[in-house]
Amino acid sequence: MDIGHNLKKIYDAHKDKPYVGFFSFDHPSLLINDPDLVKCILVKDAHNFLNRVQTADEKADPLTAKAVFALKDAKWKHIRLSMTPIFTTGKLKKMLDLVDSCAKKLTLYLDEKTADGSPLDVKDTMDRYTIDVISSCAFGIESNTFTNPEAEFRVYLRKFVEYTALKSLATVLISFAPNYQSFFKLQILEGCIVGFLRKTVWSTVQYREKNNVDRKDFLDVMMELRKKGQNTDNGKAGVKFDGDDFVAQCYAFLLAGFETSATTLAFALYELSLQPDIQHTLREEIAQTLKEHDQQVTYEGIQKMQYLDMVVSETLRKYPVVSFLERKCMNDYKLPPSPYNDNAKLEGGIGVYIPVYGIHHDPQYYPEPNRFDPERFTEENIRKRPQYTHLPFGAGPRICLGIRFGLMQIKTGLINILSQFEVAPSKGTPVQLKLDPKPFIMAALTGSAVGDIGILLFSLLVAVYLYYVNKFTYWKRRGVMTPKPIPLFGNFLMPMLQKRSPGQILQDVYKAGEGQPYVGFYIFGRPAIVIRDPDIIKHILVKDFNIFADRHASTSKSDTLGAQNLFILNGEPWKYLRMKLSPTFTSGRMKKMFPLVTNCATELVDHLLDNFGEKEPVEVKETTAKYATDVISTCAFGIGSNSLKDPKADFRKFGKKIFHFTWFRTLEILGLFFVPSLMSFLHGRFFSKDATEFLRKAFWDVIDYRESNKIVREDFLNLLIQLKNTGHIEGSETEEKNGLKEDKSSSLFEFSGDNLVAQPAIFFTAGFETNATTMSFTLYELALQPQLQKRLRTEIAEVMNKTNRSPTYEDVMNMKYLGMVVSETLRKYPPLPLLDRICLQDYNVPGSDLIIEKNTPVFIALLGLHRDPEYYPDPEFYDPQRFEEESKRLQKPFTYLPFGDGPHNCIGNVLIYVSL
């Protein structure tokens, strides 16, 4: 559907109202329905609507930008004033001979082509005629398109009206969203056409000046204006034309006189061929007038032909060459009362549109509007209609400058054709035309579906692009600093390309907001926020936890182990599960699990001694991953995975698989933390199907074995068995003491099936990778700084000697320097480099006017916070002294959060520390 029909659709739905709002892409706009208000916009209050919305980018499309129809303010006034005398009656009379000469060539061509009764392509023929007229009147060039179809003028002007996807988009954007047209650097005029026009104009000017040629045509008058800066007919001062300012007005004349006139002629002949009675009446008037003027086409004779004028007017009603008019409101403007608002105001800067095609086809003004009836334009019928319901050339100061020349060209063509020929439809002539949606100027539908599909696809891409461009003003409108987003991707292109991790991206966002309490960013098109200020972080994590109780992370429902674990659950189910599992990780429980950890540590030492010599390098990450896998599998599943002894052990194999980042796996993890809706769409999973089956089988096999043989082991799995069988852990507080009643538990979370398996599954995957990564980073830093390693080894040796190489849980927890080293590793390399929350209700950020809207993702960039020189001077330097007691007391609260804080902090942080 073309623009005119789209605006007509809005007009038809709301024509009982004087005006109606709509959106041009993301710009609010106003459609004017009432003829009286049309008069105000175009005439009475034209000073406030003098400029058009239409704006072209001067660098990308210089001739369109400088043409009189696109100019604004004082420059438009000066150019318009200077050019108006070109189309006086005297000038038009002088040009009529040139136009009539072209029309005579047209009739000769028709005579030749139709001699054998063959049908003729009327639109192509009218194009040739108008090209000859314009090239002759504007440039003094005989293009001779009737004898030379490949004439240079015709080739380039046909290119101008060939509508590609880009040009179609440009014609829409220039009048509805010119800022986007400028952004995309789209052109109405391709570079080759601009070059042709410049060459043609200046070569003709130089030739005329050199040879004193005077043709009394458009170019002569333009040259006179250029030379003298004034028009000799009225003596009023004008504007000096030169360069592209000069060429652009020649282009404007071409645009107004070529395609618009050819289209109107073609539509008029089409309608006359279908209605012989109307054609007969018109031919009689033409014959009589020519007889009165000695068979010559004269200016006075054209003005006398009333029925011809009625036919042309009706053609321009039914097929207005420009289907809408547009203006920009320059200052706030009081609108007349409407059914919705008695005191409406149109803000300055808003685009105003007049639906010419809609008004011309309104049965209120033109009964049976699809019927071609020149009688609508008798003087009596014109008087009966409201003014400003026939606007083919606009009205007021911005009325089409070349209206009189265009009508003279159209009428001269019709006179010459119908004085010698009768037009009739061929077998292929459609009874009802379909209009082409692509051209800016109305035309009948031609072309292929392939082109339409191309335009549709391109337009769809641009629509998506513009949607995101609009989205990316969200934080700017709220006064929040944000790093520049990339269309479609926001600030997340680099993670998609696997060039930077999500943690690094949030660190970049954090750094971009230096000195700011928070920074906005975009997860593709979704606004999100990074909190930088530690005081606000405290509110998010602790003081206002009820508003940020849920994580943003989520997975698909088909991923049962991923969706039902403590890390992902939200709301009351999370609260209930957290309460039930908290006793699992008390100091007392950790003491009981400690021997399991020390056994794994002993196996690690044996593995190193057996497999590596003193100077043989060790792949630290893989070795620590095997150790961590053994620790977590034995504590969480009660299974000795033996990863250190067997590199192909199942637990190690599936642990590797979970953190093996293919492109799709990267997309899944990005979706998990940043675009949860994507997980459902892609059926993404944190645990793959085969990993789910493995963990499920391992879990239930051990439980069945233990329950059958009445085996009790001081590990996490044993506590889960208690929850499965009794609903609570021995020695823990009852639900009543925690504010939850027993009868509510089953509706919140059931300790059965995959709900149960999900808990050791998440502890296994999160625990082994966290331990392995932290250990490998610690050993890496100690390897680079032998003095730190020596001090730590000294502390460890003292404890080992004191305990006969059998340290207790308390001994490990009391190693101060070990604690400082691990803390510094977790500062510089936080295992999870971000904390995520979702805002559950509109939230006024403390100390500011910013409202974080409900459902906005909120992030704390730990990598940015932990490496902020404001809190940790020289942050890239590894220095355990930062966590010496005195330094810790001076540390600003909520600037060190490796395990989070508040009710959502990591429940297993003590186990992780002990295993390290």
Which residues sit in the known binding site?
906
Phi, psi at 816, each rounded to 5°: -65, -50
Side-chain-side CA neighbours of 864 within 13 Å: the count stands at 26
- Please give the structure tokens belonging to residue 137: 């009147």
Q: Residue 375: how many CB atoms within 10 A of its CB?
A: 11
What are the DSSP E strand ranges found in 712-862? 834-838, 843-844, 851-852, 857-861
Contacts of 277 (CB under 8 A, 6+ apart): none
The set of long-range contacts for 642-647, using a CB threshold of 8 Å and a minimum separation of 24, is: 644/603, 644/604, 644/607, 645/603, 645/607
Calpha distance 529→752 (Å, rounded): 37
User: CA-based Rg of the chain, rounded to a whole angstrom?
Assistant: 40
C-beta of residue 161 within 8 angstroms of C-beta of residue 440:
no
Q: CA end-to-end span of the chain, whole Å?
A: 67
3-state SS class at 27: strand
C-beta of residue 54 within 8 angstroms of C-beta of residue 70:
yes
C-beta of residue 291 within 8 angstroms of C-beta of residue 262:
no
Question: Binding site for heme: residue ranges?
Answer: 906
Helix H or strand E encompassing 768 = helix 753-784
Side-chain-side CA neighbours of 706 within 13 Å: the count stands at 20
DSSP annotation of 541 = I
**Beta 27-32 vs 19-24: how paired, if at all?**
antiparallel
Calpha distance 105→99 (Å, rounded): 10
Exposure b/e, 761-799, CB count within 10 A at least 16 = b? bbbbbbbbbbbbbbbbbbbebbeeeeebbebbeeeeeeb
Closest residue by Cα to residue 74 from 242, 255, 239, 246: 239
